[in-house]
Chains A and B, each alone.
Chain A
Amino acid sequence: MSKRRIVFSKTGMGKYISHLDLLRCFTRTIRRSGLEVVYSQGFNPHQKMTFSLPLPIGVTGECETVDIQFQDGVTDDEIMEKLNQNLPMDIRVRSVGDPIHKAAEITAAEYRMEAIATEMVSEHKIQAFFGQGEVLATKKTKKKGETTVNILDYVRSWEITGIAEGGFCLRVIVDAGGERNLKPELLANALNDYLAPIKIEGWDICRKKIFCHLDETLQEEFR
C-alpha cells in the first residue's frame, strides 16, 4: 500500500462545504470510484484519510491536499482520473504524488482577497490600513478559547493586485498551520470596519498556495 497526496481545488459553491462534509464526500467518492484503499482496523472501520490544512467555510482553495492510503497496483494517473470522474463538480483533483512535507511543516498561506465595493477605494486608504501599528481582533481557537490578537502580526506580506470602480483585489501571505494561523475572514472584517463608510458588499477569498519554512531566504510550496 502507499500513501498518496492528492492536490485538489475546491471552488464555486464548494466553498460552503464544511471540513466534515468534505471528508464524507471523499470517502463516498473513493467508494464510487472503485479504487482500493486501506481501512482502519477495529469495530467501525473507516478509510485512512488526512487533510493537511482545513479550509475555512466560505473560502475557495486551489492547492488543498488530502493524503489517502491506496492499495498497491494503481498508478497516480489512474487515481486522478477516477477521482475526477467521481467527484462533485466543484472539487477537482489537480495532481497526485508522493507526500513531500509533513502537515506540521506548514507555516504560511497565500490568499487572493477580492472585495466588491459600492465605490472606489483609494490605494492610499488600503496602505494606511496595513500601516497601522495594531489591528485588534478576537480569535477563537479550540485550545485557547477566545483571545484578542493584533492581526497585522500575522500578515507576512501584502500587495494590491487590482483596484477599480467595483472594488479591489489583494494578495496576502499570512501565518498558517497548527502553530499560528490567521483566518483571512478576520482580515476582511477588519478592512470592512476600517474602510467604512465605504460599504464592502462582499469578499471572494481564495487560498492560492500553502508554504513550508517560509522566511526571507526560503520559500517552499507545500507538496
Chain B
Amino acid sequence: MKKKSIVILSVLVVALLLFTGYKTFLSPKGAEGAKEVTIHIINENEDVDKTFTYNTDHEFLLELMEEKQEELGVTFEESEFGKMVVGMMNYTANPDKQEFFHIAVNGEDAMTGVEEIPLENDDVYKFELSNY
C-alpha cells in the first residue's frame, strides 16, 4: 500500500508539472495594458446591428463582457468547457431553432470561447445570431 501511495503521489506531482507547463507555454495569453476594442452584435431576427467601442485594460474578452454585461445584454451559460455566450442584446438564442451566437475575431471564426479570446488593440469581435 505504501508503494502505491508513493506512485500515486509521484503521478500527481508529474500531472501538476505538466499542467504548469501547459499554462506557461500553450494556453492563450492576454495582452496587458490599455487597448481599444470593438464589439459588433448582429441579430437580423430582431433587427439588431450595433457596435460598441471600449477602452479597456482587461486581457480576455469574457472579462470585458462581464463588465459591460448590462449594456451588451449578455447572457452566459456555464458549460463543461467554461462560460458560453447564449444571449446578446437581451435576446437568447433558441436551441430548438438551432440558433447560436457565432463569434468572429477580425472576420475570422473564433476557435475558442470568450473565456480564452485575448483582447488585442483594434480587434473587432463580432457576435452574429446564426443557425447550425
Verify that A and B bind, or say they do not: no
By a beta-carbon cutoff of 8 Å, the part of chain A in contact with chain B is: none
